[in-house]
Amino acid sequence: MPENEFEWINKHTPKTYHHDGLVEGIGDDAAVYAYESNYDDILCVDMMIEEVHFKKQTMSPKDIGHKALAVNISDIAAMGGIPVYFMVSIALPKHWSDEELSEIYEGMNTLADLYDMDMIGGDTVSSPHELMISVTVHGRVEKGCHVVRRNAAPGDIVFLTNPTGRSAAGLHLLLDRGRWADYTKQEQKLLSYHQKPVPRVEEGRIISGFQLPASLNDISDGLASEANELAEASNISIELVKSQIPLAEELTLFSEDQYWDWIFYGGEDFELIGTIRETDWPVLQKKIQEKGLNIYQIGRVKEGPASVTLMDGEQEIKLEKQGYNHFKS
């Protein structure tokens, strides 16, 4: 743990910033940035706690930093926005070293640079037990273009950006064997989906750029849970088709029952699930594919009440809203 807070702040204060709108960065009582009249602001915050969201055996300090920022960027992506600034607060216990703390910030800054994000403040305190890290991200989106959950309507296409379940599979391997074990190339892919998730900012920007009625949600608690959130927010019914849901090749390393459970309830994939009017679907699909990105039709929106069902051939199965339990045995 750092012995001198002020030396630590000076050491990690950015020397340059990406955005001209920043008036005052780190070094004063608060950050100040200029408001842009043609944009709406987006603010989100997430907390990660040791032994709840991560363990030292499952993630390196750099991975922890990456993920702490990535989960917030994913929330910005789900609104169709651009991530701009971030602030970091860490409660640090004695069993975490100064070097490990520096690596956490390195993991965040490496990801932030991919999106031209600026760190503009935060706080560092001591913790009696576990490490806790809270990240706040400020984003922006053109006025009237933000995408929300409540826009789904009967007849809409339900879409998904990429396969789900890979993060949970990676966590399963890490809890079983630890991050220092030897893994095959396919297993390493699964580990990376858990340790270094990729926020789907570009896909979100394409969707918001249409300025069309669409809904979006990022998949933090599992495909079934997030589909239920869309259904509840829009007061509609969602019907998913099992044969249309993409299956990652790496998941076939496990039993069918296991990987379908991860696909629906695994969590922490940070893909985007959403809906769009059927007439707009071919245009969206084309725009996404032109960028070399993926998008899949996985179902339809029907009249309410709010619910999610899965069609498996002729069988209809209700998908319950179940929260993600990170270290469920």
Binding site, annotated residues for substrate: 53, 268, 324
| Higher-confidence position of 10 and 191 | 191
Structure confidence by residue, pLDDT tens digits, 64-114? 999 999 999 999 999 999 999 999 999 999 999 989 999 999 999 999 999
Structure confidence by residue, pLDDT tens digits, 69-82? 999 999 999 999 99
Q: Are 91 and 127 in contact (CB under 8 A)?
A: yes
The class (CATH top level) of 5-142 is: alpha beta
Cα–Cα dist 309/228, whole Å: 9
Cα–Cα dist 231/145, whole Å: 21
Q: How many CA atoms lie within 13 A of 150 on its CB side?
A: 2
Q: Of 6, 14, 55, give the one whose Cα is nearest residue 327.
A: 55
Cα–Cα dist 109/112, whole Å: 5
Confidence of residue 29 (pLDDT cuts 50, 70, 90): very low
pTM, entire model: 0.89
Q: Write down the residue that tokens 């910030």 correspond to.
A: 105
Q: Write down the residue that tokens 């960027």 correspond to.
A: 73
Binding site, annotated residues: 29, 46, 53, 75, 105, 122-123, 149, 218, 220-221, 268, 324
Q: Is the peptide bond before 282 cis (omega within 30 degrees of 0)?
A: no
Cα–Cα dist 195/185, whole Å: 15
| Higher-confidence position of 154 and 16 | 154
Binding site, annotated residues for ATP: 105, 122-123, 149, 220
Helices 61-77, 185-195: inter-axial angle, 10-degree rounding: 70
- 6 pLDDT above the threshold of 70: no
Binding site, annotated residues for Mg(2+): 29, 46, 75, 123, 218, 221
Which residues, in sequence order, are CB contacts of 86 under 8 Å at separation 6+? 69, 72, 108, 112, 117, 118, 119, 120, 135, 136, 137, 138
For the chain, the domains span 5-142, 149-318
Structure confidence by residue, pLDDT tens digits, 272-301? 999 999 999 999 999 999 999 999 999 999
- 19 pLDDT above the threshold of 60: no
Classified as helix, coil or strand, 278 is coil
Cα–Cα dist 155/134, whole Å: 39
Q: Write down the residue that tokens 């076939």 correspond to.
A: 252
Which residues, in sequence order, are CB contacts of 156 under 8 Å at separation 6+? 215, 275, 276, 277, 278, 300, 301
SS (H, E, C) 247-260: CCHHHHHCCHHHHH
- 14 pLDDT above the threshold of 80: no
Per the prediction, the chain carries an average pLDDT of 89
Q: Are 142 and 39 in contact (CB under 8 A)?
A: yes
- 184 pLDDT above the threshold of 90: yes
Q: Are 300 and 157 in contact (CB under 8 A)?
A: yes
Assign domain 149-318 one CATH number from 3.30.70.60, 3.90.650.10, 3.30.465.10, 3.40.50.1000.
3.90.650.10
